[in-house]
């Protein structure tokens, strides 16, 4: 999604994004994660795969030409584009990260979603984890 606003997406960007996510998720919770992606070279690179493995994350890769595998994330990208990107009047390389980060904070913490019992994703996740661990 950010690719259209950046000159190119390199492996460092992908790995830095993983590191940032891992810092926010306790290790014991990472052990239950499945990281799904397409067959982009970033996601099939041995360094990316080793990083997931070292964190206990299971990797899932779409079958070639199988857009159905990516339907949930493509739906999410459509929401982000509609509610954030297309509404932003002044979107530049210099501010795209801040715009997306602000939207993601809103999306995860405040945006209620019908599919998850009219809860925000963080609230839904916390309730689900509480029912598993308590």
Q: How far, in Å, CA of 18 to CA of 124, rounded? A: 22
Q: Enter the tokens of residue 121.
A: 């994703």
Spell out a b/e string for 85-95, using b for 16 or more CB atoms within 10 Å of the CB, else e: beeeeeeeeee
Task: Identify whether residues 36 and 85 lie together within a single domain.
Answer: no
Is the whole model's pTM more than 0.75, yes or no?
no
Task: Considering only residues 123 and 70, tell me which one the structure prediction assigns the higher pLDDT.
Answer: 123
Domain end marker among 61, 77, 98? 61
Comparing CA positions, the residue from 99, 129, 132, 134 lying closest to residue 25 is 129
Boundaries of domain holding 98: 65-134
Q: What is the tens place of the pLDDT at every residue in 11-63?
A: 898 999 899 999 999 888 888 899 988 888 899 999 999 999 999 999 999 88
Domain end marker among 16, 39, 61? 61
Task: Identify whether residues 55 and 77 lie together within a single domain.
Answer: no
Task: Identify whether residues 89 and 114 lie together within a single domain.
Answer: yes
The reported pLDDT for the residue numbered 7 is: 52
Question: 85 Cβ partners below 8 Å, 6+ apart?
Answer: 1, 91, 99
- Contact yes or no for 37/66 (Cβ under 8 A): no
Task: Identify whether residues 14 and 73 lie together within a single domain.
Answer: no
């Amino acid at each position: 999604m950010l690719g259209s606003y950046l000159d190119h997406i390199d492996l460092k960007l992908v790995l830095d994004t993983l590191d940032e996510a891992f810092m926010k998720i306790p290790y014991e919770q990472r052990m239950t994660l499945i990281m799904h992606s397409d067959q982009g070279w970033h996601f099939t690179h041995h360094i990316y795969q080793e990083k997931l493995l070292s964190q206990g994350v299971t990797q899932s890769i779409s079958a070639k030409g199988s857009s159905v595998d990516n339907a949930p994330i493509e739906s999410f990208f459509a929401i982000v584009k509609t509610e954030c990107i297309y509404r932003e009047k002044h979107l530049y390389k210099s501010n795209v990260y801040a715009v997306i980060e602000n939207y993601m904070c809103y999306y995860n913490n405040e945006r209620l979603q019908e599919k998850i019992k009219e809860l925000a994703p963080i609230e839904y996740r916390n309730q689900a984890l509480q029912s598993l661990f308590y």
